[in-house]
Structure 1
Amino acid sequence: MYMVITCFFHNMKLLVVVPVPLQSVEVQVDVKDHVATVVSTLLYQNKEEKPIEAVFVFPMPSEAAVCHFSAKVGQTLIVAEVKEKKQAREEYDDALSSGQQAFLLEESDQSPDIFSMSVGSLPPGESASIRLEYVTELDVQADEALRFCLPAVLNPRYQPTGTETGSVTVTSVPSSLVPYDLIFLARVQSARPISKVESNCTMDPLEFLSQDQTAASVKLAAGHKFERDVELLIYYKDTHEPSAVVEAGQASAKAGTLMGDPAVMLSLYPEFPKDIMSSVSSSGEFVFLLDRSGSMEGGQIASARDTLLLLLKSLPMGCFFNIYSFGSTFEQIFPESVEYKQETMEEALKKVEMMQADLGGTEILAPLERIYSQSCIPNQPRQLFVFTDGEVGNTKEVINLVKSNSGSHRCFSFGIGEGASTALINGLAKEGGGHAQFITGSDRMQPKVIQSLRFAMQPAVVDISVKWDLPKGVSATVLSPPLTSIFQGQRSLLYAQLTGQNKEAAEGCVTVKYSLAGRPTENKLNFSLKPTEDTGLTVHRLAARSLIRSLEQEQGDHRGQIDDAKKKEIIDLSVQSGVSSSFTAFIAVNKTSGEAIQGPLLRRDVPVPSNMMMVGCCMPMPRMVACSMPMRMMADRSMPMGMMADCDMPVLDALEIDCADVMLGAADCDDDDFYYDDEEKYALPESKAKRDPLLELVSLQKASGCWELEPALAKAVGKTTKDLEDKQPSAAKKEVWATILALVWLHGLKADAKDEWELLVMKAVTWLQSQNASGLAECVEAANSLLGCSVQKNALGI
């Protein structure tokens, strides 16, 4: 398979014919409750006349535990071993130099959500089938769905100035040019019936495999290109209840080791007292950090602006807030956080409306350092909201900075668009004691962000402890990091190794104790110690992954230094469990091969889809594939510096192309020379785009929670000013009538968006109650008559 890639440089167009040895990707996903086992089979074939080395750099869920890697060449199956990374690389190089085939799989040194697969040497006409397996937990969404994502899009990670270049480099093309196909099948099994399965891709109808609908399968429609992330949303009936899975140890492993002893996975869904949850905190310092790098251009920055509008309208009176935005540099609206009131809200909104994706790269570390340098406000708990498409090269450094400041705030993170780094987004929330959300495809950002705002307004859970009540002779060693945050209705996972035996008692109990709003609270989970059948080693691998990640994060400073003793502990655990780490790699060598290679081994980089957009200083530029041509145009910085300054893409030297495979054609650039990814167009900001009616109404609400009777309100609800004035009850004040009208419109016509407006409606109700106004029932009746609704007064909460 060959691929023609059009590369654009300043006033020059290059046509590059690139052989792509990866022919197809076949993925099978087995979901059991909230855990997925993913098996990917990649078929490689060398259709060239010389031996090649194929290198594929691809994204991986950061929470995944990679546990198997093998290759089949002809009838020979080679199963890879986990070894220390340096040793594995040396064995790979030695094998290639001696003419043997070798296969290497390793995690990026910079980020755990990027892997590199090297296949070499592949003789002319030879094929190789690569099998990669991992297990992963599924995230719980705002609507209680479980989210599985098979990442395909890997945007080049922006490398901040002055930082070391990572060990892997991304070779990317526009998603419409991905040259290999994807075959995808998912099988879902649960103790509870499956309600439905939704996807962002075209799927064949869901097929139930049992009468009680506890098992089902679904597959992608035929002919799907692996050009976008594949997302599944799985809905169970009566789901998300506390549960425990006990798994027997590996028979061949030594007792007393992690793999030899039984392991338990606890899924906890804490329930907070209703009287505490019925009240929303009116205090807090809310800091919003928005990515304005070039890759946020288009719909992403527009959605982020709308979301900030909704957030600002939903904040409670009396809190404090500030908004930072970043790219290559950063800006802040106020020198320090200010009290939330009408004047400060209006000033902030005016500046938010002007925000564009015009700040260049993705330097997130500097604004975080500035935020943390600001003193916390007494009795105003700091809540940090980070919005980014998550494409940075110093992921570990950023996460460690958040971790070192975790005692002073909670961090809520949002990955925007396909290709967002799961390592960065999940890491920020985990180390910041907050919650992570991903917004992809046609998702509305607002419901997910407001859910996180609700979490931020929950009282902070403190003094968390976990008590194990096990039979005599049985003990538990917790393998997960300590619980530092708990939210109402959100799952918390705990892994533990069970040591010892007791034949008489077969039950255990875990009690989670904590303090909530000054009140001691606890949740209990009783579970059977009898191992569950047919789990394989899924729980052990996830537990090993959890422990490995915890050890990797136990580092002295935010720059990620780790001592030799800790590194050895991680390597030993990775080798024992067969689960990858940042210090190990999978290595497989076909020792039956060994013919000497004549001439140099050609490297072929397999491209992945990218949603990156190059933005020049004076005109739009297309997304580009990273090419390392003989003239080294990118590496020599021959592109004008003004154009490089705004690029949210690092300078890459990835794709080494043999001269015989290159055709060059130069021509003056004009608009027709540019291509775009799919149907997305690069568009200059519209002066005044038509706003969603809901957001139009929201934009008119005052900081106190009320609306005013004005022409803009009449337009927002689809009426004239005269209509509103004629229907106003004579005894009602204008602001009271306007506020009731807005509430009836929201409840009657926008009930499906309740998750978005519920918090600001609570503000409005609080304002109405403070007015001690009479005639509210008449206002509700008049609003229903005007809008054609039938909303009851008690439904409004007044």
Structure 2
Amino acid sequence: MITSIATLPPEECEPVPDAGLGTLVTERGNLPLESVDVTAAVSGLIAGVEVVQGFRNPHDVALEATYVFPLPDRAAVTAFRMEADGRVIEGTLKERGQARADYDQAVAEGRRAAIAEEDRPDVFTIRVGNIVPGERVTVHLTLNQPLPYEDGAATFRFPLVVAPRYIPGTPLDGGQAGDGWAPDTDAVPDASRITPPVLLPGFPNPVRLSLAVSVDPAGLELRELRSSLHVVQEEGSTVRLQPGERLDRDFILRLSFDASTSLALVPDDGEGDADGDGTFSLTVVPDPAPATAAAKDVVLVLDRSGSMTGWKMVAARRAAARIVDTLTRGDRFAVLSFDTVVERPEGLGEGLSEASDRNRYRAVEHLARLEARGGTEMLAPLEQAVALLAGSDGDRVLVLVTDGQVGNEDQILERVGARLAGVRVHTVGIDRAVNAGFLGRLAGLGSGRCELVESEDRLDEAMEHIHRRIGAPLVTDLSLKADGLDLVPGTVSHLGSIYPGVPLTVLGRYRHPRDGALTVHGVDGAVQPWERRVAGVRTDSPATRAIWARARLRALEDRYAAGDHSLEGEIVEISLEYGVLCRFTAFVAVDSKVVAEGGPGHRVIQPVELPSGWQSPAVAAAPMMMTAMAPPQPGAPAGPPGAPGAAPKFAAGGMGGAPRGVAAGGSAPRARMAPPRPAPVAAPAAARELPRAELGEELRRLRAAESLGAADQLRYLQDLGSRLAALAVHLGGHAELEALARDLQSGTDVDALWQRAVDGLEALSRSGGRRPFWKR
């Protein structure tokens, strides 16, 4: 809850002439995040990165600051620490629920604390509690990331802003998982954690950004360095951002050099323990060879939603048309364009059509007329695409062209992931702040490729890559045979297929090697046996172990998202054993010193930039980000133009941002909406499920209040008992809940009652299953 604070006197404020509506500046600033410093060291195809975020409290009371930010989706976060007032507190990786409980307790007791959590493979949240007035606190994240490589170039991509995401589904009752502008829904139960408020255009640059990348080609000839979206300056082997750049688009650096086939064996304890367990990293660079032109069935799915407005829609239309033009008469295809509805070109029928000149012309003509509009209802077209390919006996290909800005990634993977077996899925992400994590996960499930396009200038190069991927791969049916290496079962990453210009990369764990070699077997385009044997070389590269663990965790998390919830224990175990952050764990740093009696008096979630190239929020973002929207049902009337909508919360940078649903300094934008879903019919009271999320939230608050005095604790317990009694009535009766409520309202032994409340809430919140990890 945001509490009121003292009004600043007029002499401490002055208007900013060129700022967005509602902004102001003070001598102490008005937002908690002051700086973001990124330092990366690239060595070959691995980058080690340290991210330092600087927070400052400009208010007159203790502050808790929340910052939602992106990191590379394949990066392994391995260390976390907090520094304040000359004190350095190292973070500890714990199960997420325990880390949250430790953080909440420390903050309630007035101690400094910080917690880092993963909400998506590329979206993270940091909370820093009890920053005292005028104080600066820095948090440090250490991570390692692999660099994708193809066609003679590696790419270092570092995202700098979380773009607004479309949130489908029906809003959920009860407490929210976070403080973002979108309510949690049945399709995106943690929507409020991944939707930070957005700064209005024109707001002065609120965060000082520095980013430096030092490059070591690791013995290879570095031919060229290219920065795609930012202005940079080179100082020897280091590339730096010029001062004044904003956190509104990805930083992209491309490094041209020739990779080579290799097998790195990395012992856990360094080269001195060559006979111990370790991690291997296999890279196989394919020989130059054209892919065979086998007949194929292709379904192209194009996103035309509101977030694709502007250059992105132009690029998406061009990309889709290029894909259609590459098809030959032996191919069959379908084109699906979508926003809140799915449309197909006229005259092409309901199934797959022959890729004749006439049919390809009809498809390109349809694509040329598309304009951005509506919401990003991505699940329905993907399900239709999978159904179209289900009856195909040939080479099946699905191509998705989108910015990927949706919040229901897990729902999509759960519904279509298992049906992608035998389908090659290629994703084309078009944006300057693309949702690379989701697009990479989807392509990985379909053994395809993810191509990211950050500008129209990059489109032709990217589409050349996609053209080759859509064609048949060079080698399929891959398998791995070990010679002298005892591979640990279940640890080897997915092999996939080998495509022209794209090295095969395989990671895994081994036990007690002797000499060590791996042989990759497969079948080439002429259906002939193919193999490549690579001898191992021992190296000392601790990052390899972390990168393997991150890849393994991401694969397990995707299986969890697809419905296999039995994997949670294994995910937590791997995360803690290898010290790599995942969605079920969190880094927490807790100081022992009490600095703010009573905890923070003010809480602020840091607003983020509107991504570069996006239109102003009142014009474009609001209709794209509507929640609780559904495609029109057959026969249903269209929604009235100008119907009032629940626009996202945008902030002008003031204290805590604008009210939910109102752009700072103005009224709520109005947008055209699809008809809302009808309200769900309530189940009979006796059939209602126990709301474990709400009970878990009561347990969290109870633990956070343990530092209260005895009299305050007794009052708290009596209030808790009254809430639980009311909940039991709402449920139509619940014996355990009613008994706990009676005990808390009638007892006088505070210590015994407190333990009774903890035990009772733990049992009730666990009954029938554990709470979702984003609510713990």
Q: 1:466 aligns with which of 473, 480, 487?
A: 480
User: Aligned residue for 1:495?
Assistant: 507
Alignment partners' CA distance in 2, 1:218 and 1:202: 11
Q: 1:199 aligns with which of 206, 227, 230?
A: 227
Query: 1:554 is paired with a residue of what secondary structure?
Result: helix
Matches within 5 A, 1:759-778: none
Instruction: Evaluate the alpha carbon distance shift between residue 196 and residue 93 of structure 1 in structure 2; reply closer, same or farther with a 3 A threshold.
Output: same
- Deviation sequence 1:656-706 (CA, Å, 0-9, x none): 976999999978999xxxxxxxxxxxxxxxxxxxxxxxxxxxxxxxxxxxx
Amino acid at match of 2:386: Y
User: Aligned residue for 2:576?
Assistant: 575
- Indicate yes or no: 2:115 matched with 1:104: yes
Query: 2:381 is paired with a residue of what secondary structure?
Result: helix
Alignment partners' CA distance in 2, 1:293 and 1:634: 14
Matches within 5 A, 1:228-243: 228-236=249-257, 239-243=258-262
- Deviation sequence 1:579-619 (CA, Å, 0-9, x none): 01111111110112344137733334242443585799xxx
Alignment partners' CA distance in 2, 1:483 and 1:646: 50
* CA contact 1:311–1:450 (8 Å) conserved in 2: no
Q: 2:519 aligns with which of 508, 511, 514?
A: 511
Matches within 5 A, 1:220-259: 220-236=241-257, 239-250=258-269
- Deviation sequence 1:610-645 (CA, Å, 0-9, x none): 3585799xxx72657999xxxxx999xxxx985787
User: Aligned residue for 2:293?
Assistant: 280
Alignment partners' CA distance in 2, 1:303 and 1:131: 37
Q: 2:43 aligns with which of 26, 32, 44?
A: 32
Instruction: Evaluate the alpha carbon distance shift between residue 613 and residue 659 of structure 1 in structure 2; reply closer, same or farther with a 3 A threshold.
Output: closer
Instruction: Evaluate the alpha carbon distance shift between residue 389 and residue 136 of structure 1 in structure 2; reply closer, same or farther with a 3 A threshold.
Output: same
TM-score, length basis structure 2 = 0.73
Matches within 5 A, 1:593-612: 593-597=594-598, 600-611=601-612
Alignment partners' CA distance in 2, 1:268 and 1:305: 34
Instruction: Evaluate the alpha carbon distance shift between residue 293 and residue 16 of structure 1 in structure 2; reply closer, same or farther with a 3 A threshold.
Output: farther
Amino acid at match of 2:417: K
Alignment partners' CA distance in 1, 2:642 and 2:442: 29
Amino acid at match of 1:603: V
- Indicate yes or no: 2:405 matched with 1:391: yes
User: Aligned residue for 1:51?
Assistant: 62
Structure 2 gap segments, 5+ residues each:
1-11, 171-186, 629-637, 670-776
Q: 2:362 aligns with which of 334, 347, 351?
A: 347
Instruction: Evaluate the alpha carbon distance shift between residue 268 and residue 477 of structure 1 in structure 2; reply closer, same or farther with a 3 A threshold.
Output: farther
Alignment partners' CA distance in 1, 2:595 and 2:246: 35
Deviation of 1:95 after TM superposition, in Å, equals 0.6
Amino acid at match of 2:547: L
- Indicate yes or no: 2:380 matched with 1:371: no
* CA contact 1:604–1:655 (8 Å) conserved in 2: no
Matches within 5 A, 1:577-592: 577-592=578-593
- Deviation sequence 1:448-483 (CA, Å, 0-9, x none): 123222222125744321001116xx5555623331
Amino acid at match of 1:230: F
Alignment partners' CA distance in 1, 2:623 and 2:14: 12
Deviation of 1:394 after TM superposition, in Å, equals 1.0
* CA contact 1:386–1:412 (8 Å) conserved in 2: yes
* CA contact 2:429–2:435 (8 Å) conserved in 1: yes
* CA contact 2:49–2:143 (8 Å) conserved in 1: yes
Amino acid at match of 2:512: G
- Indicate yes or no: 2:218 matched with 1:182: no
Deviation of 1:376 after TM superposition, in Å, equals 4.2
Deviation of 1:50 after TM superposition, in Å, equals 0.9
Q: 1:357 aligns with which of 369, 372, 377?
A: 372
Alignment partners' CA distance in 2, 1:173 and 1:46: 19
Matches within 5 A, 1:131-142: 131-141=140-150
User: Aligned residue for 1:709?
Assistant: none
Query: 1:494 is paired with a residue of what secondary structure?
Result: strand
Matches within 5 A, 1:262-411: 262-271=278-287, 274=289, 277=290, 279-281=292-294, 283-333=295-345, 334=348, 335-358=350-373, 360-374=374-388, 376=390, 378-411=392-425
Alignment partners' CA distance in 2, 1:3 and 1:137: 46
Deviation of 1:414 after TM superposition, in Å, equals 0.7
Indicate the RMSD between aligned Cα atoms, in angstroms. 3.8
Q: 1:621 aligns with which of 619, 622, 628?
A: 619
Instruction: Evaluate the alpha carbon distance shift between residue 598 and residue 131 of structure 1 in structure 2; reply closer, same or farther with a 3 A threshold.
Output: closer
* CA contact 1:207–1:217 (8 Å) conserved in 2: yes
- Indicate yes or no: 2:219 matched with 1:219: no
Matches within 5 A, 1:639-678: 651-652=648-649
Deviation of 1:145 after TM superposition, in Å, equals 1.6
Instruction: Evaluate the alpha carbon distance shift between residue 644 and residue 51 of structure 1 in structure 2; reply closer, same or farther with a 3 A threshold.
Output: farther
Alignment partners' CA distance in 2, 1:289 and 1:634: 22
* CA contact 1:310–1:446 (8 Å) conserved in 2: no
Alignment partners' CA distance in 2, 1:302 and 1:626: 18
* CA contact 1:187–1:218 (8 Å) conserved in 2: yes
Alignment partners' CA distance in 1, 2:67 and 2:376: 25
* CA contact 1:291–1:326 (8 Å) conserved in 2: yes
Q: 2:467 aligns with which of 424, 444, 453?
A: 453
Amino acid at match of 1:419: A
Alignment partners' CA distance in 2, 1:3 and 1:304: 44
User: Aligned residue for 1:772?
Assistant: none
Amino acid at match of 1:220: L
Query: 1:206 is paired with a residue of what secondary structure?
Result: strand
Alignment partners' CA distance in 1, 2:476 and 2:647: 42
* CA contact 1:8–1:624 (8 Å) conserved in 2: no
Matches within 5 A, 1:111-150: 111-141=120-150, 143-150=151-158
* CA contact 2:83–2:89 (8 Å) conserved in 1: yes
Deviation of 1:21 after TM superposition, in Å, equals 1.3
Alignment partners' CA distance in 2, 1:35 and 1:317: 42
Matches within 5 A, 1:696-711: none
Alignment partners' CA distance in 1, 2:17 and 2:126: 25
Instruction: Evaluate the alpha carbon distance shift between residue 496 and residue 308 of structure 1 in structure 2; reply closer, same or farther with a 3 A threshold.
Output: closer
- Deviation sequence 1:372-410 (CA, Å, 0-9, x none): 222545553221110001101111222344431222321
* CA contact 2:46–2:145 (8 Å) conserved in 1: yes
* CA contact 2:76–2:546 (8 Å) conserved in 1: yes
Alignment partners' CA distance in 1, 2:68 and 2:14: 17
Query: 2:421 is paired with a residue of what secondary structure?
Result: helix
Aligned residues between the structures: 621
In our comparison, the structure showing a higher alpha carbon Rg is 1
Instruction: Evaluate the alpha carbon distance shift between residue 131 and residue 606 of structure 1 in structure 2; reply closer, same or farther with a 3 A threshold.
Output: farther
Alignment partners' CA distance in 2, 1:540 and 1:25: 27
Q: 1:540 aligns with which of 538, 545, 569?
A: 545
Deviation of 1:362 after TM superposition, in Å, equals 0.7
Deviation of 1:2 after TM superposition, in Å, equals 9.6
Query: 2:516 is paired with a residue of what secondary structure?
Result: strand
Instruction: Evaluate the alpha carbon distance shift between residue 643 and residue 52 of structure 1 in structure 2; reply closer, same or farther with a 3 A threshold.
Output: farther
Worse-matched range after superposition: 440-449 or 318-327: 440-449
